[in-house]
Structure 1
Amino acid sequence: MANRVIVFFGPRFEFDRIVREGTQGDEVIASYLDSIRVYNARIKSSDLTTRDLKLKAPDHVDSCVVHADDFGSVLSHVLPSFASILEETYDIDKLYVQNPPKRAYDSLLAAQVPDAIKVIHYEYKRVGKGDLPAIYGKLEEGVLDQDEAKKTLVTSLYRLSVMQDERPSAVLLYGPSGVGKTETARCLAEALGGGLTRIQFSMMQTSEAYEYLFGAEHSKASFARDLLARESNVVLIDEFDKVNPALYNMFYQLFDEGRYVDTNYDVDARNCLFLLTSNFPNEREARRAMGGAIFSRISASVEFADLTAEGKRLLIRRHYGKIVSKLDEEDASAISESDILDWFESNAERYDNMRTLKAKIEKAIFEKLSSPLFEGKRRLKVIE
């Protein structure tokens, strides 16, 4: 089918790098979707009514590239024919495939000479002892207050960096909403040199969560697919307490062995750091609500507290400055001359939820900027 096949499991940016380096000097490069279109056209051209259909497609390509997202663009029955379709479409020198579903991968293995297949698993950076100073520095810079949470987390990571045996680590971050749990996850991902994979269950109904976890149609989003595409070994499962407890059994093998299997994929997640956020007020309540089976698989629990008054004022200044920096000179001047910043700093202790506080700051700024538009409209009505 192809002289050489490279099957890659991992993030898009690394797959693109492999393809870019491997295809230098190639004259003809085709995508998987190109091959599907050519294959369908040739099927139609064999029909008596369309025998004159002209195909402008090469018989030979130097490289054919199949991205993970390409599989979502074809119907389910195409996957078992993945290899045969390519074989009937092109004479391929090199075939690059990213994160194939199991049925497509099996068809490839059945059609290809084993010695011609090279399987590459992306090597994610794991938390090591040498990373801890950078991690703590990132946390100090990016997360307001939460001194005890930072110390507890770094202490837990120190233990895990020494004791882990390739099993993933699941750390529960609990406490009030909007006090730095998500930002903590971002800091950890940045310190380990990759983007954060964020999974949110709060917006899913039970049926949606079931399909997302167990895998439904290969073209739909799934937990396994998101794990395969992760850029770093830090995965944030936001509002883990919103998962129906009946679905927690899907995490048992993942947290125990670092393997996640659904209908379409078999994912290697060893050495992964899973951060599970929740709004539980204490560890005892978390254990009671989640159940002993899943709670026993959590490596550490880290408590986040309400921000101090000074912490809230610092957050206000940071967020206010971030918004003003995006404004043009005229708007920035108008906001700087207003009392918005002073008002929020003086009333900082009124707010318990930091997401709400940020939203209120944005609302105040943009209401101030847009108010002249409405005043002009009112004056126009008076004149009329």
Structure 2
Amino acid sequence: MSNNRKYIVSIGSKTYFKSQLESQLPNWEDDDNVATFLDLVKESDERKTQGIPFENHADILIVYNDNYSGITEQAHDRIGVLIDELSNEDSTIYIHNPPIRLKEYLAYVKENEDCEVEYSSEIYTTDMNEEDFVENMHSISTNIFGQEQALKEITKSMWYLTKVERKKPYVIMLYGNSSLGKTEIVREIANKFYGDKFVEKHLSMFKNTTYSDYFFGEQPNRKTLGFDLLERNSNLIFLDELDKCPDYFYSAFYTLFDSEVFKDASYEVSTSGMFIILTANYLDKKQMMDNLGLPIYYRIDKFIPFNDFDCDTIRDITLKEIADRADEYSNLLTSDDIYEAVSPLISTQGENARTIKQKVQQVIEELLFSKIESEFDD
């Protein structure tokens, strides 16, 4: 059987893939000639179970990246052949973020069967002209307390990234005690510069070897780190609490931090231009070296410490926390009432955003309850 199929491959986010479809198939969602891969797989399986030949071959077949998790591992081994079995010999196939096995098949049919295979990749851009950059960083500084030097170092790194073209990712580590603003500053950067579009992974959730499939992609019908990076909406990657991640997953980060291509057993993805922000609760660089090991440590471009809050910063955060919650209590209490009651509970050192928030919460509850406490004492 001849193969005159045309394979159109899109690498990038779901939004990008949809835009590619719309540019070439304006009415694809209402076109009866268009079928989706997973729907036809299910139909084919049902007909085989019933002993009925499958004849509903697609003229136009769409293979979404989510479809790969809907088939068995055995089906992944022959995914290219399976796509051809579900389509006509002159069909057009639209493919989103193919796994490695499918990419190898496409390379084979292009070389040996002279099929047309077209690739397009999403281009990730960040608008950072000087005026907007300065304005955005000033805006971030008004929401982050007590970390002026850390913010200055982050600003240097981000401005550097606007002026150069990086082939490998740029990796920074924000470190220091918990609840000093590390995560908050990443979210501010995502909001002001990346439209809140970023890959966020809380590494403390990956506690044991059952998560190895995610990092190493050993089971192709499951989502992996490579899968998530392929469908990212921007080049901002946030890996939170690296110190909580078991060290047997570190090898997955070696190539992610230090290579132009990240590759697991199922997917490969270009890492060019990625801005990777790590956080950890380490207190100094020596502690990082000892716990992360030198292979990871030396793949990090920059280390930015977050300092414990001083007395003035603790006061500013307390006042902001009280002000931010005004809608909760404005008809019942005043901010002065709350500040007067909470001040004796808050230390001049050793506090962080979480402990301050908890103490303000405690005081608001106690002040509100005091108004009816006598009724419970009777």
Q: What is aligned with 1:382? A: none
Contact 1:192-1:232 at 8 Å conserved across structures: no
Specify the code of the residue in structure 1 equivalent to 2:301: S
Given that 2:150 and 2:304 are in contact with CA atoms closer than 8 Å, whether structure 1 keeps it comes out as: yes
**Alignment-derived partner of residue 71 in structure 1:** 68
1:99 corresponds in structure 2 to: 97
Match of residue 40, structure 2, among 17, 35, 38: 35
More divergent stretch after superposition (148-157 vs 210-219):
210-219
The 8 Å contact of residues 126 and 271 in structure 1, kept in 2 or not, is answered as: no
- Give CA-to-partner distance per residue, 1:184-219, whole Å, 9 cap, x none: 222222333241211222232241453332223123
Q: Gapped runs of 5+ residues in structure 2? A: none
Aligned-pair CA distance for 1:363: 7.4
Indicate the residue corresponding to 2:118 in structure 1. Answer: 118
AA aligned to 1:253 is T
Moved more, 258-267 or 197-206: 197-206
Tell me the matched-pair count: 367
1:95-174 → structure 2 map (5 Å cutoff): 95-111=93-109, 116-125=116-125, 130=130, 132-162=133-163, 165-174=166-175
The answer to whether the 8 A contact 2:35-2:58 is kept is no
Q: Could you tell me how far apart the structure 2 residues matched to 1:272 and 1:261 are?
A: 15
C-alpha displacement of 1:353: 3.4
- Which range moves more in the overlay, 261-270 or 112-121? 112-121
Give TM-score, length-normalised by structure 1: 0.79
Q: Is residue 220 of structure 2 the alignment partner of residue 203 of structure 1?
A: no
Q: Could you say which residue in structure 1 is the equivalent of 2:80?
A: 83
Q: Distance in 2 between matches of 1:205 and 1:219?
A: 21
Query: What's the TM-score, normalizing by structure 2?
Result: 0.80
Cα distance between partner residues in 1 of 2:300 and 2:367: 47
After superposition, where does 1:19-58 map in structure 2 within 5 Å?
A: 19-26=21-28, 27-28=31-32, 29-46=34-51
**Following superposition of structure 1 onto structure 2, how do residues 1-384 of structure 1 map, counting pairs within 5 Å?**
3-26=5-28, 27-28=31-32, 29-46=34-51, 59-61=57-59, 63-91=60-88, 93-111=91-109, 116-125=116-125, 130=130, 132-162=133-163, 165-194=166-195, 195-316=197-318, 333=331, 343-344=341-342, 347-349=345-347, 352-358=351-357
Say whether the 8 Å CA contact 1:189–1:233 is kept in structure 2: no
Q: Which moved more, 1:147-156 or 1:243-252?
A: 243-252
5+ residue gaps, structure 1 = 379-384
Deviation at 1:277, TM superposition (A): 0.7
The AA in structure 2 aligned to 1:100 is P
Instruction: Please provide the CA RMSD for this pair.
Output: 3.9
Kept in 1: contact 2:314–2:351 (CA 8 A): no
- Range 129-138 or range 286-295, more displaced: 129-138
| Cα separation, partners in 2 of 1:216 and 1:134, compared to 1, 3 Å | farther
Per mean C-alpha deviation after superposition, the further-off stretch among 105-114 and 37-46 is 105-114
Deviates more, 1:261-270 or 1:356-365: 356-365
Whether the aligned pair in 2 keeps the contact of 1:228 and 1:267 (CA below 8 Å) is yes
Whole-angstrom CA distance in 1 between matches of 2:352 and 2:181? 11
